[in-house]
Amino acid sequence: MNILDKITLDKRNEVALRKQLIPTSQLEQSVLFGRQTISLANNLRNSKSGIIAEHKRRSPSKSVINNNLNVQDVAKGYQDAGVCGMSVLTDGKYFGGSLDDLLTARASCNLPLLRKEFIIDEYQMLEAKAYGADVILLIAAILSRDEIKQFSEFAKSLNLDVLLEVHNEEELHKSIMPSLDMLGVNNRNLKTFEVSLETSKLLSTQIPNDFVKVSESGISSVEAIKELQPFGYQGFLIGENFMKTNNPGGASATDFINQLNK
């Protein structure tokens, strides 16, 4: 069993418990449930930088990244830096995140917010909407084609953008369908945790141009983005590179985007 299998198993138990505690009717009555969402896909299409900046305290591959920052400061900093959107990790056990982080980020900025989560149930999309998200992540490695179709169509019915993440050719081919907005290529090998931008390059030609192409993991330099742009990538998810500094938004992301736009 690899790390993704472990996380998914735990997530099924966690979601079953959450469904018992908070009924869907309660989520649907939340103040944020009816808000007009902001499209990350549109932001990326119209951006020079294409940066999606992440709030992430820790990860299974790197353990603690940064536990000393509050979400409010990070969100405000990212917005001031001029990023296209913000990704918020809401998994608690493996990444140290929570839905409250999403809520805090929503109160602190006007960026499109991606709920970065291991989604295995429609209930989690109702949560995302209720806590202020604009975008959900679907991970092809843990979902069947039917589930990807079901979940992405349900997300669209909630006016949420859908980012579908793949790691290889097989996952990509089972995933392509009209109810997706963005196709993300994760450059990290889930078995070895090794990262290679070649994954994004190899898969780029097989992603139809109807979708916004997003490259994820291992993007730690302006050069990496400039290397990937000719392959059609318009979005770049950056987490650890900003989060490992003392000022992810204010200094780190601002300097990065300034360099990129030179």
| DSSP symbol at 153 | H
Of these residues, 108, 217, 241, 252, which one is catalytic? 217
186 tagged catalytic:
yes
Of these residues, 116, 129, 213, 241, which one is catalytic? 116
Rounded to whole angstroms, the Cα distance separating 39 from 136 reads 11
Of these residues, 43, 175, 186, 187, which one is catalytic? 186
175 tagged catalytic:
no
Looking at the chain, how many residues does it have? 262
Rounded to whole angstroms, the Cα distance separating 160 from 135 reads 5
How many C-beta neighbours within 10 Å does residue 218 have?
20
Rounded to whole angstroms, the Cα distance separating 11 from 21 reads 15
Of these residues, 200, 216, 241, 252, which one is catalytic? 216
216 tagged catalytic:
yes
54 tagged catalytic:
yes
Of these residues, 56, 117, 187, 241, which one is catalytic? 56
168 tagged catalytic:
no
Instruction: For tokens 């830096």, name the residue.
Output: 81
Of these residues, 117, 127, 165, 240, which one is catalytic? 165
56 tagged catalytic:
yes
Of these residues, 11, 43, 54, 187, which one is catalytic? 54
Q: Under the phi-then-psi rule, with left for phi > 0, alpha for psi from -120 to 50, and beta for the rest, what region is 198?
A: alpha
Residues 6+ apart with CB under 8 A from 244: 65, 66
Rounded to whole angstroms, the Cα distance separating 164 from 180 reads 7
Question: Which residues are designated catalytic?
Answer: 54, 56, 116, 165, 186, 216-217
